[in-house]
Chain A
Amino acid sequence: MIIEKVMVHGGDVLKFAGDSIFAEWAINEHGLVTIEECTAVAALCAASIAECCRDFPIFGGEKTAGFLNVHCSLGVGDVAAVHIGDDRLRREFLLLGDPIDQISVLEKDVKIREVAASPEAVVLLTKMFNIDTSVCTGVEKVAIIMDQSGRRFKPRLDVQLPMPLPNETAGKDRKEILSMICESLDVSQLKHLLQLISLYVHPVVAKDESVVSNFLKLNSSAQERMQAEAELRDVYTMFIMPLISSELKREDELNQALFQRLNNILLITNRELENYGGHLRQFIVDDKGVVLLATFGLRGATFPNMISCHCLPCTTALHNALQVELGIDCQIGATFGRAYCGVVGGISRHEYAVLGPCVNLSARLMCSSCNPGILVDNSVRLRAKTEFTFNSLQPVKAKGYVNPVPIFEPISAAEKRWGKPIRDFVGRKEQLNYIFRWAKHIAYSKDEKKSKMLYIQAESGFGKSALISQALLEVRKKIFQKKKRVIITRNISNDGDRMIPFR
């Protein structure tokens, strides 16, 4: 209904962000000529949504489990619509600018069932409405233009309100518009357009679209396809918040530097997710700041030992890569649990999303004031405790959660089982001698530029790990006896690391 309301009022649904949406009314779209008209129609739409969605009951079986409500924030001003990413893995579309910053401020004060407008929006609204100024709060005169008692703004008698053309993309018309667009292009242009759109949608959707047969596409309704794609899965959710400002500046050079920075963040995230087999759900700039949402466990991204070999290594690798390569600190919250995976929204406008308690908790952990860099929940810890060590932190109160939530910081790959020499190791003398001669050559070689590699290949269970552990122990002992200063380093790769050691 919210989507429908936005479209009827001539708006464009830009993004779905969990349980919220961003909608835009731009100048010269749908018959709206001035920014005053855009703001007036957006305010009318917000009031209409707040009225329709007030105390909406949710039924859990026979009984009412609770009520949903909405609150709205209205901002206005100049925005930059930024395209970032690459032509191979993924692109994203971001909206930056004053309205986002205004909404971030409003979100701190606005309560449920209320519609708040920024001071900039209020100035424009007063040209078309009489606003009850008594509801303006604070020094900044943030206006609550609608509250529990109803609308606090009335149309001025001397001004005619704008009547937006309903968004021509709404409902059935959207398909017709797209058909017309498609028919104006030749096949090669159509292919290019399809490739470009695929880069902006969720990988699961893009993959599904390429593999679903034409018969199914033509013989099932949009609703049937949406329902067929929905499922409940165990998902690892990772919210990533790079700690950077996304504020637009007056100087174009500074803005270009910001766009490049955001682009680099996306490229690095894409790279790490590709290495470990994860999916990027979204990159958004909202009231929380710059946020990326990535998942493991969706179709095409499910693996054995997923948490320990893919998810946590990817989380730490991404955290390190952003810090080392871009000098950007970030806070990551990660959880594991059952979630709804499928499209959210209406028939004509929707997005693939992951919804559930674990997803909400992940976002809360990311924002937690005690987040040292990476925070995970107990489900993640339980599934990775043999491979990782965890620092237990004070349980935190999370918004929407009754009980304090236990939180943990993964501090390192524990390497607990691998690499421990066996006390009663016997045999393999020939191989041990060979490895020692090989190590001795490296350690004592005068030609420092020469490097060597030794590959050990055998069937699973033949004792490769035990041999290397024992060999390392003996190499260390013998070199120590010779009082030679040698540093021995080691790296243990996980199943999900792929080609990382050789990159």
Chain B
Amino acid sequence: MNPHHLFLEKTTLLSVTPNSLKIMELSILNYDALCEDDDDDDSTVEEILSHKLDQLGEESDIDEDRLARQMMKMMKKHAGAVSKILIERSKISESISWLARHVPFCLLKDLLHDVEEGLPIALPYATYRRCALLFVDISGFTKLSQIMSVENLSKVKPIHCRTACLSVEK
């Protein structure tokens, strides 16, 4: 089997995003040199990848044959560890992606800033800005909720949210 295909199958199986795939390709490009230099080093695969990722943005030309050889080599040696990292990243990213739908984007940006800064922030803390604020209130819901049973209300939710307001939309 072509090592490139092997790699693609692996990444598809793990549901790695296109950008993750790119990162892996770039990591592998430098793997030969890395192995020659660090064969006796105790560095973990995480550390090796992390170290190399810092330099990878500068890489521009990709030699496919070389890439295939390097991928094969890497898969043989560290397939288990690389898979573990990718699976872990994938799981966490999926969870963040899902939970992030429950918070406003401005909050997400604040949190991202906190994480990048890496310093614990004492609560409470506030940021100030100017904005226009819109309050949209749906009238008649209380009256309807009293007339209709909860079961019926939950049945009509998909209809009313698709065109009007509250719930699941296509």
Contact = CB atoms under 8 A, between A and B. Distances in A.
Interface of A: 1-4, 6, 11-15, 18-27, 35, 38-39, 41-42, 45-46, 49, 52-53, 56, 58-61, 65-87, 91, 93, 95, 99-100, 103, 106-107, 112, 121, 167, 169, 174-175, 178-183, 185-187, 189-194, 196-198, 200-202, 205-206, 209-210, 214, 217-218, 222-223, 225-227, 230, 232, 255, 259-260, 262-263, 286-287, 338-340, 343-352, 355-357, 360, 399-402
Given A187-B89, A192-B115, A209 B95 contact: yes
Contacts of A182: 89, 92-93, 96-97
Given A14-B106, A20-B135, A68-B165, 8 more contacts: A18-B141, A46-B134, A53-B138, A53-B164, A106-B135, A183-B20, A190-B89, A349-B101
A196 B114 contact: yes
A83 B135 CA distance: 21
Given A339-B150, A400-B146, A201 B137 contact: no
B140 A66 contact: yes
Contacts of A169: 105
A231 to B, nearest CB: 9
A232 B151 contact: yes
Given A70-B136, A82-B126, A214 B99 contact: no
Nearest to B50: A186
B134 to A, nearest CB: 5
Contact of A58 (B100, B156, B168): B156
Interface in B102-119: 102-108, 110-112, 114-116, 118
A196 B131 contact: no
A3 B169 contact: yes
Contacts of B162: 1
A435 B128 CA distance: 63
B1 interface: no
Interface residues of B, number: 84
Question: Which 8 pairs of residues, A with B, have the shortest CB-CB distance?
Answer: A400-B142, A99-B133, A42-B132, A20-B137, A182-B93, A19-B141, A259-B124, A26-B131
Main secondary structure of the interface of B (DSSP, over half): helix
A242 to B, nearest CB: 15
Nearest to A71: B137
Interface of B: 15, 17, 19-20, 23, 46, 50, 85, 87-108, 110-112, 114-116, 118, 120-121, 123-148, 150-154, 156-157, 159-170
A178 B151 contact: no
B160 A350 contact: no
Contacts of B94: 214, 217-218
Nearest to A69: B139
A180 B99 contact: no
A187 B134 contact: no
A66 B23 CA distance: 54
Given A11-B134, A46-B136, A196-B111, A217 B101 contact: no
| Most-contacted residue by chain B among A4, A53, A84, A230 (CB, 10 A) | A53
A22 B130 contact: no
A4 B170 CA distance: 11
A345 B147 CA distance: 23
Contacts of A84: 123-124
Given A20-B138, A53-B164, A360-B142, A194 B96 contact: yes
Given A11-B134, A83-B110, A357-B142, A66 B147 contact: yes
B139 A79 contact: no
Contact of A194 (B17, B95, B151): B95
Contacts of A186: 50
B155 to A, nearest CB: 9
A347 B40 CA distance: 50
B92 A191 contact: yes
Nearest to A231: B154
